[in-house]
Amino acid sequence: MTDSPRKLIRHAVAALLETPAEGVYPTPAENRVVKNLVLDIPRDLLPALAVYTLEERPEGESEPDLPLRVLILIIEAHAGGKQDVDDFLDDVAWAAEQIIADNPGLGLSQEATGIEIKDLAWDGAGLARDASGAIIAGRAFASFRVEYVWRKPAADWDLEDFERVHGAARPEPGESQPQEQFRAEMETE
């Protein structure tokens, strides 16, 4: 069984956010990136990021019988007590936008995962709110719209059913099969 495309996308984004380039982390959260929605990250692990998917929906077809999927991905920053909260949240949101913009394929191998990113766009940013709409202190988010298609990777194909149906109809090399002829007549005006 293959992993969910949502999970693979979420983990790819988290890897981009937690991997240093030339010894420098891309965000002030460094390698403290959680790959799920977390309501409360322990204070000793702050600052940190949570990468999660908010929703997914179909949006037409990319090709016949190949649905285009739209995923809303959230990168949520959790500030600690030692930094200027607004500056930290702005820096993290901006760094996340730049990382996503610089990696439109998110580092995912289409051959290995079956995921083809069609479009990746910043969708907004803001302060995190609770269910009542009240601002949650020290938390902000950046939202991204990920349009993608998923094709089952070739390594995951099970040809047994295909061969069971089509294998018997395939002639051996050099063996001929009887041919049937069909004739269709159409009325003309």
Q: What would the pLDDT profile of 28-48 be if each residue is shown by its tens digit?
A: 889 999 998 887 888 888 889
**Which domains are present in the chain?**
9-157 (3.30.2000.30)
pLDDT digits (tens, 9 = 90+) for 3-28: 889 999 999 999 999 999 899 999 88
Bridge partners of 76? 50, 141
Which token pair is 49?
């990021």
146 with 117: CB under 8 angstroms?
yes
| Global pTM value | 0.76
Q: Which comes out higher in pLDDT, residue 155 or 145?
A: 145
Is the pLDDT score of 87 beyond 70? yes
Q: Which comes out higher in pLDDT, residue 154 or 61?
A: 61
Q: Which residues of 34-57 are buried (b: 16+ CB within 10 A; e: fewer)?
A: bbeebeebeeeebbbbbbbbeebe
